[in-house]
Amino acid sequence: MPNATVLLKEPSPYGKLTTGNFEVRRSTKVPTEADLGPNQIAVHTRYISIDPYLRMRMSGTDGPYATGYRVGSPITSFGVGDVVASRHPDYPQGCQITTSANPWSTYAIYDLSDPQLVAALQLTKLEGPLADVPLNWHVGVLGMPSFTAWYGLLEIGKPKAGETLVVSAASGAVGQAVVQLGKSLGLRVVAAAGTDEKVAYLKDTLKADAAFNYKKVDDYTKTLKELCPKGIDIYFDNIGGEFLDAVLANVNRCARIAACGAISQYQKDEGQTYGVKNLMSVVGNEVTFQGFIILFHYQTHYVKFVEDITKRVKDGKFNYKLDITKGIENAPQTMVDMMEGRNFGKTVVEG
Amino acid sequence: MPNATVLLKEPSPYGKLTTGNFEVRRSTKVPTEADLGPNQIAVHTRYISIDPYLRMRMSGTDGPYATGYRVGSPITSFGVGDVVASRHPDYPQGCQITTSANPWSTYAIYDLSDPQLVAALQLTKLEGPLADVPLNWHVGVLGMPSFTAWYGLLEIGKPKAGETLVVSAASGAVGQAVVQLGKSLGLRVVAAAGTDEKVAYLKDTLKADAAFNYKKVDDYTKTLKELCPKGIDIYFDNIGGEFLDAVLANVNRCARIAACGAISQYQKDEGQTYGVKNLMSVVGNEVTFQGFIILFHYQTHYVKFVEDITKRVKDGKFNYKLDITKGIENAPQTMVDMMEGRNFGKTVVEG
């Protein structure tokens, strides 16, 4: 079994990420109990979640959105794995854990002496309902992006049946969940994605009322006007930029915009961030444009989310498409590809 | 007594407004009961309220924010006046009324046959507590901008004592009320205005904790960082544009922005609207950026506002500075001046 660890080599504050920003170290070492101090556990990474917000962490500097990775330190993200050796009684060998700070490493050692650190890592043993589902659900349908979709649509979007919902990056990790939740709530769902294959998936499998390939459209404002004849009531914003301006030109009074991310802007060169011009529409239409960071809402909402989504999936009413790449050593290329939209579904690397 | 009416001559969708966009018609005619049809009243305009949002109406086209004026039709705005002749039993000669659609005309005739139209004009007879205050309070401390301040700060700003509030255009019609309400609620108030005289008024009379002349500052972001050492919790946005970007660079987690207007953008040439770049701060800081149009909130909140503000003024705890110009025929120049910041206090024309 290859044993790889991915570290930050060269921070990338602007422009396109490349695999040269990462360093992959290999080793044949597999940790055993002899390598552990008191209260430490060794975990074999089974899946890591690769998400657009990590692009900001690759800047190497701390921002409000996320802390930057440090040169020479491992990249971390949400992940799930098997405890292969343990010196902590609550996390015996054979159990499984999930954490928001899983190193991109085939094996990782966690020190669980300090309960505050365990909380900060959001390290959770899979038991009860969490153990009762396929393992990759924890980086898939039960993962952070899916929770993001659920929280943003319900808590910020405040949907009412019959309203029109627009979703950008709609076949991605967050978008595909937003589309399906929107449909199940009786919304008219208009979805935008970047390939014809994704558009077909959105229409045929996820049953979006309308979907379009934004790369083949000249004028977002005109397209949204055509596809949303009653105007836009809710916009789930994953991309920011020019598309947001087009949405603002088509919103109804008291529209809600769940500001989740701005992937269209993350790889811009310095000083090239798109300036949003239609903010007077926020005033004139009494729009609520509200940002959120899902990490702050686990404690209050995650259990409710898990119950709700698990039921939906088991009822066969919820699809969740994963785009799985094998091998931690391939995580850098996988992330580069995702940032350029070459993923199809939620991006995951299998360790 | 001169009798003047101001009409739209040339719509101005972009750039600087000039008096050439208006036409002033003069007449010696004073309406009497003989000029009235059933249920009509003739009103002598006593004060009209001149406000930045009218700039958008001068475009001559309808937008979400407001309907455009029509070429050859009178300019209208909030106003208050004396009923000088009446054929409506509920509005006898000698009573006074306020309306949101007072023509810029020394005399105006209103048809009150249709109750829906009366409601649309927000035509209200001054009686009870509304008759118990100086007449110009209805375009001043009880007027739309003051109500805007009160609603936006309380309902959208959701202030908590000890928080930091930033107000732009702070000596204007809305701003001066926001500053004083903010102080009375125990906020640290940081105010921006465009002349040293206004800054002195904000500090000395309105007791802002800090105030600065934004025209004498090189870098808004740096100035706000210095004046708001604990970050910004609430921003009452009257101006939009570059200043908004600077605020977004200094907001705290869960900050609230009451998006009231964007006067810095109203006189831009076509295509020159400033693009706001720091919207990722809305996501990263979980900011709520919420627009509002005060006209929609009269029914639910105006009575509460009047009670609250009247008490504050009578307790001597609330100043409200008017900038009064005499003569309806001077309203065009007064509006042009206001748009360029040459007013000091709430702009009013006395009829």
When CB atoms are compared, the residue of A240, A273, A292 closest to B286 is A292
Interface membership of B287 toward A (CB under 8 Å): yes
Establish if A86 belongs to a structural domain: yes
Query: Within this chain, do residues B123 and B227 fall inside the same structural domain, yes or no?
Result: no
Token digits of residue A38 = 């008191």
Query: Within this chain, do residues A257 and A184 fall inside the same structural domain, yes or no?
Result: yes
Across the interface, whether the CB atoms of B281 and A64 are under 8 A apart is answered yes
Mean of per-residue pLDDT scores for chain A = 94
B284 backbone φψ class: left, alpha, beta (φ>0; ψ -120 to 50): alpha
Residue B2 has pLDDT above 80, yes or no: no
Question: Which of A264, A283, A290 to mutate to probe the B interface, most B CBs <10 Å?
Answer: A283
What is the predicted pLDDT for the residue at B269?
87
Residue A40 has pLDDT above 80, yes or no: yes
A254 backbone φψ class: left, alpha, beta (φ>0; ψ -120 to 50): left
Interface membership of B191 toward A (CB under 8 Å): no
Q: How far, in Å, CA of A342 to CA of A288, rounded?
A: 32
When CB atoms are compared, the residue of B279, B288, B293 closest to A276 is B279
DSSP state of A225: H
The residue whose two tokens read 């102080």 is B183
Residue A1 has pLDDT above 70, yes or no: no
Residue B1 has pLDDT above 70, yes or no: no
Q: How far, in Å, CA of A138 to CA of A302, rounded?
A: 12
Range of weakest confidence among A327-341, B154-168, B255-269 = B255-269
Q: How far, in Å, CA of A86 to CA of A77, rounded?
A: 22
Determine the average pLDDT of the residues in A62-91. 94
What is the predicted pLDDT for the residue at B65?
74
DSSP state of B273: P
Query: Within this chain, do residues A104 and A211 fall inside the same structural domain, yes or no?
Result: no
Across the interface, whether the CB atoms of B291 and A273 are under 8 A apart is answered no
DSSP state of B156: I
Q: Residue B275: which of B284, B283, B264 has the closest Cα?
A: B264
Beta-strand ranges (E) seen in chain B are: 3-8, 22-27, 40-49, 76-86, 96-103, 107-111, 124-125, 164-167, 188-193, 210-213, 232-237, 251-259, 288-291, 322-326, 346-350
Establish if B249 belongs to a structural domain: yes
Establish if B315 belongs to a structural domain: no
The residue whose two tokens read 């440090």 is A70
Contact A233, A256 (CB under 8 A): yes
DSSP lists the bridge partners of residue B40 as B111
What is the predicted pLDDT for the residue at A266?
86
pLDDT band for position B12 (cuts 50, 70, 90): very high
Chain A nearest-CA distance from B156, in A, is: 10
Contact list in B for residue A279 (CB cut-off 8 A) is 240, 244, 259, 262, 276
* Ordered alpha helix ranges (H), chain A: 54-57, 115-120, 144-151, 175-184, 196-204, 220-227, 241-248, 280-284, 298-314, 331-339
* DSSP for B311-323, written as a single string: HHHHTT-----EE
Contact A79, A97 (CB under 8 A): no
Establish if A200 belongs to a structural domain: yes
The 3-class SS string of B106-127 reads: CEEEEECCCHHHHHHCCCEECC
Contact B265, B275 (CB under 8 A): no
Query: Within this chain, do residues A287 and A171 fall inside the same structural domain, yes or no?
Result: yes
Q: Which of residues 206-245 of B touch A (CB under 8 A)?
A: 240, 244
Residue B22 CB partners (closer than 8 Å, separation 6+): B6, B7, B8, B9, B75, B331, B332
Q: In 10 A of CB B185, how many CB atoms?
A: 18
Look up residue A159 and give its amino acid: P
Q: Residue B24: which of B3, B49, B53 has the closest Cα?
A: B3
Query: Within this chain, do residues B289 and B330 fall inside the same structural domain, yes or no?
Result: no
Q: Which residues of B160-170 are buried (b: 16+ CB within 10 A; e: fewer)?
A: eeebbbbbbbb
Contact A80, A139 (CB under 8 A): yes
Across the interface, whether the CB atoms of B290 and A289 are under 8 A apart is answered yes
What is the predicted pLDDT for the residue at B258?
98
SS3 B185: coil
pLDDT band for position B158 (cuts 50, 70, 90): very high
Residue A152 has pLDDT above 60, yes or no: yes
Contact A51, A23 (CB under 8 A): no
Residue A68 has pLDDT above 80, yes or no: yes
Contact A334, A348 (CB under 8 A): no
Determine the average pLDDT of the residues in B151-180. 97
Establish if A174 belongs to a structural domain: yes
Contact A224, A166 (CB under 8 A): yes
When CB atoms are compared, the residue of A273, A280, A286 closest to B277 is A273
Terminal alpha carbon distance of chain A? 10
When CB atoms are compared, the residue of A274, A282, A289 closest to B275 is A274
Domain boundary among A279, A294, A309: A294
Query: Within this chain, do residues B173 and B93 fall inside the same structural domain, yes or no?
Result: no
Interface membership of B62 toward A (CB under 8 Å): no
Report the chain B residue with the minimal C-alpha distance to residue A237: B283
Distance of CA B211 to the CA centre of its chain: 21
Q: Which residues of A320-336 are buried (b: 16+ CB within 10 A; e: fewer)?
A: bbbbebeebbbbbebbb
Determine the average pLDDT of the residues in A167-173. 94
**HSE, side-chain direction, 13 A CA sphere, residue B14:** 6
pLDDT tens-place string over residues B106-118: 999 999 999 998 9
Residue A155 has pLDDT above 60, yes or no: yes
What is the predicted pLDDT for the residue at A174?
95
In chain A, the percentage of residues whose pLDDT exceeds 70 is 99
The residue among B120 and A44 whose pLDDT is bigger is A44
Token digits of residue A349 = 């690397």
Query: Within this chain, do residues B79 and B159 fall inside the same structural domain, yes or no?
Result: no
Report the chain A residue with the minimal C-alpha distance to residue B62: A284
Q: How far, in Å, CA of B169 to CA of B199, rounded?
A: 10
Q: How far, in Å, CA of A251 to CA of A272, rounded?
A: 26
Q: In 10 A of CB A347, how many CB atoms?
A: 26
Q: Which of residues 110-169 of A touch B (CB under 8 A)?
A: none
pLDDT band for position B265 (cuts 50, 70, 90): confident
Across the interface, whether the CB atoms of B279 and A65 are under 8 A apart is answered no
User: How many domains is chain A built from?
Assistant: 2
Establish if B304 belongs to a structural domain: no
pLDDT band for position B47 (cuts 50, 70, 90): very high
In chain B, the percentage of residues whose pLDDT exceeds 90 is 86
Q: How far, in Å, CA of B161 to CA of B188, rounded?
A: 8
Query: Within this chain, do residues B282 and B244 fall inside the same structural domain, yes or no?
Result: yes
Question: Which of A239, A260, A273, A282 to mutate to probe the B interface, most B CBs <10 Å?
Answer: A282
DSSP3 helix / strand / coil % (chain A, rounded to 5): 35, 25, 40
Determine the average pLDDT of the residues in B106-132. 92
Residue A64 has pLDDT above 90, yes or no: no
In chain B, the percentage of residues whose pLDDT exceeds 70 is 99
Residue B13 CB partners (closer than 8 Å, separation 6+): B59, B60, B61, B270
Residue A2 has pLDDT above 80, yes or no: no
Across the interface, whether the CB atoms of B285 and A253 are under 8 A apart is answered no
Question: Which of B56, B286, B293, B298 to mutate to probe the A interface, most A CBs <10 Å?
Answer: B286
SS3 B69: coil
Contact A247, A257 (CB under 8 A): yes
Q: Which of residues 256-285 of B touch A (CB under 8 A)?
A: 259-262, 265, 273-277, 279-285
Contact B266, B55 (CB under 8 A): yes
Distance of CA B109 to the CA centre of its chain: 24
Determine the average pLDDT of the residues in A263-268. 86
What is the predicted pLDDT for the residue at A316?
85
What is the predicted pLDDT for the residue at B314?
87
Taking CB atoms and an 8 Å cut-off, how many pairs form between chains A and B? 103
DSSP state of B158: -
Residue B131 CB partners (closer than 8 Å, separation 6+): B96
What is the predicted pLDDT for the residue at A100?
93
Query: Within this chain, do residues B261 and B329 fall inside the same structural domain, yes or no?
Result: no
Contact list in A for residue B291 (CB cut-off 8 A) is 281-288
Which CATH number characterizes residue B169's domain?
3.40.50.720
Query: Within this chain, do residues A199 and A231 fall inside the same structural domain, yes or no?
Result: yes
Chain A nearest-CA distance from B106, in A, is: 30
Query: Within this chain, do residues B128 and B263 fall inside the same structural domain, yes or no?
Result: no
Report the chain A residue with the minimal C-alpha distance to residue B259: A283
Which CATH number characterizes residue B116's domain?
3.90.180.10
Establish if A309 belongs to a structural domain: no
Token digits of residue A249 = 């030109």
pLDDT tens-place string over residues B169-228: 999 999 999 999 999 999 999 999 999 999 999 999 999 999 999 999 999 999 999 999
Report the chain B residue with the minimal C-alpha distance to residue A256: B290
CA distances from A210 to A182, A214, A319, B87 (A): 13, 12, 18, 57
Query: Within this chain, do residues A159 and A263 fall inside the same structural domain, yes or no?
Result: yes
Domain that holds residue A162: 144-294
Parallel, antiparallel or unpaired: strands B107-111 and B40-49: antiparallel
- H or E segment at A78? strand A76-86
Establish if B312 belongs to a structural domain: no
pLDDT tens-place string over residues A95-146: 999 999 999 999 999 999 999 989 889 899 999 888 989 999 999 999 999 9
What is the predicted pLDDT for the residue at B283?
95
